[in-house]
C-alpha cells in the first residue's frame, strides 16, 4: 500500500519536504519544523536531485510503499517527480535522456555484433553446402565411372 509520508514530530503534521541525496540515502527535511528523515535509496541506480524536473520547485510530497522498498516524490506545485541523474560508466552524471541514448547505442553495437556473427554463420552454412554439393558431384561421378 502506498502511504503519504507525514512528519512524525509531535505537533507537526507537515507533508512537504525538501529532499537531498546523500550517499545512499535520501534526506527529507520537513518544511514546517525542519525535522530530518532519511530513507535508504541504495537500490536505485540513479541519484535524486533536490529540484522538480519540471518547475524547479524544491518541496515535495513523499509517498512510501509499505510492502516493498520504494519512495515516490511529487512536486507540491506541479506533481512531477524530482530531477534524477544517472552515473555513466566513467562516473559522470548524466540525465535520463543521455542514459536512454547510451543504452540505445549499446544495443545498436550489440545488434551489429549479432548481425556480424549471423553473417559469418550464413557464410559457413553456404560453404558447407558447397562442400556437400562437391562431394555429391564427386560421388555421382564415381558412380557413373564404375557402372
Which range in 18-26, 30-38, 83-91, 98-106 contacts Zn ion by CB under 5 A? Answer: 30-38
Span 35-64, contacts to Zn ion by CB under 5 A: 35, 52, 54-55, 57
The answer to whether the beta carbons of residues 1 and 22 sit under 8 Å apart is no
| 73 near Zn ion (CB under 5 A) | no
The one among 6, 9, 95, 99 contacting Zn ion by CB under 5 A: 9
**Pairing of the two strands 60-65 and 71-75:** antiparallel
Cα-based distances in Å from 10 to 2, 17, 61: 22, 16, 19
CB of 79 to Zn ion, least distance (A): 7
Query: Three-state DSSP class for 35?
Result: coil
Judge whether 52 and 18 are in contact, CB under 8 Å. no
Residues that bind Zn ion (CB under 5 A): 7, 9, 12, 14, 30, 32-33, 35, 52, 54-55, 57, 75, 77-78, 80
Amino acid at each position: 500500500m502506498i502511504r503519504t509520508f507525514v512528519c512524525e514530530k509531535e505537533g507537526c503534521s507537515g507533508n512537504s519536504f525538501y529532499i537531498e541525496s546523500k550517499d545512499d540515502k535520501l534526506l527529507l527535511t520537513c518544511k514546517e519544523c525542519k525535522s530530518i528523515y532519511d530513507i535508504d535509496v541504495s537500490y536505485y541506480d540513479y541519484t535524486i536531485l533536490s529540484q522538480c524536473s519540471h518547475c524547479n520547485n524544491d518541496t515535495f510530497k513523499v509517498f512510501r510503499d509499505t510492502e516493498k522498498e520504494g519512495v515516490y516524490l511529487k512536486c507540491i506545485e506541479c506533481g512531477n517527480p524530482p530531477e534524477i541523474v544517472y552515473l555513466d560508466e566513467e562516473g559522470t552524471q548524466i540525465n535520463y535522456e543521455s542514459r536512454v541514448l547510451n543504452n540505445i547505442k549499446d544495443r545498436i553495437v550489440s545488434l551489429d555484433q549479432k548481425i556480424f556473427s549471423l553473417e559469418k554463420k550464413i557464410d559457413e552454412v553456404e560453404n558447407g553446402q558447397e562442400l556437400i554439393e562437391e562431394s555429391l558431384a564427386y560421388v555421382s561421378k564415381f558412380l557413373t565411372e564404375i557402372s
